[in-house]
Structure 1
Amino acid sequence: MNIEFNRNMEAVLGEVNHPNISAFDLVFVPIINQQHYYVMCFNLKTPKVEITDNSGVMPRMSVAKKYSDLPDKMVDCGVFLMRHMETYKGCLLNWECGLCGENEANNLQKLQLNDLRKKYVTKIILHDLNERFHWVTKDLVRYLSLPVEVRREADKNTHGNIASRLLEHAD
């Protein structure tokens, strides 16, 4: 596993035109702590470290205490992490990631997160470095050839399977 990870990292870093970290203003480090994702950002211009975290609670709390709707929240924090890395420009003061608050506008945030999931998964699947691109597209063509009713049933089962796996791994 480490050999494959190292090979993939070398491929990604080989595409970067800046071989020295001092050429960057911001360095984003995704963190996972007890199945919760957040971002630590090193601002190299104004030597400081800032953390963006959508939970708004102390990291010592258990995941179950942080979130009332555990399966959705455990999935959402990864989307928040990616959105924070996409929108954060080095200053927490007046920074907005562009997402509505949880209680705003009748689940508008949930719609926004679903749109971001689609955006991010599309970029990942279609990226040149995705070694599984052809496998995924072949599977997608097979899925789209199924009758609509079968696809809807498969979608329902998939959501349940994801929720079950998340609950299995909750602390």
Structure 2
Amino acid sequence: MCNGELLSSFLDVWSLRFSLLNMSRAVGETKRVYFSTLVHLQIDPNDQWMKDLPADIKMKNFNERLSYEITSFGNLDISDADLIFFAVHRHGHYFLVCFNVKERKVQVIDNKELPADVSKKDKYGNCPHLLIEAFSGYLKTECPTLYVKLQKVAIKYLKLDWANTENVTDCGIYVLRHMETFRGTLQDWQPGFKKNMRLNASFICELRAKYAANLIKWRMNGVRGEVLQAAKKVSKKN
């Protein structure tokens, strides 16, 4: 956690945590729901054996994973959600796809700037379209109210002032911070990143420590006591 690319499991646990934290939001605050990388991977997998699965099986797996995560949130009602985030792990890189219900947009949020010779199609393939198709198929039977709201959504690739081509290891940290702070619009959105990586170094280090500590101390962490005891022992030795 102190350096290098995050394991997808870390983002997956945080997706659950962010959804649960938002359930206790203040009146009038944006309702946000977060799904793990495992949902998108059912329809756009990295492993060849999953790529070879028939389309109907992939869709079935997508629906089952989505239902499982909603149940994990305590059967959360997503019909009135404002923002629905899907964390994506594709070709070794993390980014976000956000369904902005009020604005009827699907927003792609990525810290990695596109090089001049690379197109959106080259980088993202049909990822956003696949998610729209799969999610709409799920909602049509499981949540008709939200299905109606998300008809004919436009895909928008957000241009972030802090996006760069230099950073190839911290995309998971960017995703966590974007999930934590994004409220549906670029206006007044200040997650704290700078475009210059040298200026970002200490902030990213702080975020790594923050997210690790919060997860260790989380009440749903089954080994919280053991880890905290071990940390105290190390602290005393030093």
TM-score normalised by length of structure 2 = 0.47
Query: How far is the alpha carbon of 1:114 from its aligned partner?
Result: 0.8
| Closer, same or farther: CA 11–121 of 1 in aligned 2, 3 Å | farther
Name the SS for the 1:145 alignment partner: helix
Q: Which residue identity lines up with residue 22 of structure 1 in the other structure?
A: S
Matched, 1:32 2:126: no
Query: How far is the alpha carbon of 1:67 from its aligned partner?
Result: 6.2
Query: How far is the alpha carbon of 1:93 from its aligned partner?
Result: 5.5
**1:143-162 correspondence runs (5 A):** 143-146=234-237, 148=238
Structure with the bigger percentage of helix: 1
Structure 1 segments of 4+ aligned residues over 6 angstroms from their partners: none
Aligned length: 129
Query: How far is the alpha carbon of 1:102 from its aligned partner?
Result: 2.2
Deviations 1:53-104 (A, max 9, x none): 111125746xxxx9667xxx32x1111001111111112466442211125x
RMSD between superposed Cα atoms in Å? 2.9
Contact 1:22 1:44 survives alignment (8 Å): no
Higher relative contact order (CA 8 A, sep 6+): 2
Deviations 1:96-129 (A, max 9, x none): 42211125xxx22110111111111121111111
Residue 174 (structure 2) aligns with: 80
* Identity rate, percent: 28
* C-alpha distance in structure 2 between counterparts of 1:95 and 1:145, whole Å: 41
* C-alpha distance in structure 2 between counterparts of 1:123 and 1:48, whole Å: 31
Deviations 1:9-48 (A, max 9, x none): 477401x7xx321221001111111221111110111111
**1:130-149 correspondence runs (5 A):** 130-146=221-237, 148=238
Contact 2:113 2:165 survives alignment (8 Å): no
**Unpaired segments ≥5 residues, structure 2:** 1-37, 39-64, 124-163
Contact 2:181 2:191 survives alignment (8 Å): yes
* C-alpha distance in structure 2 between counterparts of 1:125 and 1:140, whole Å: 11
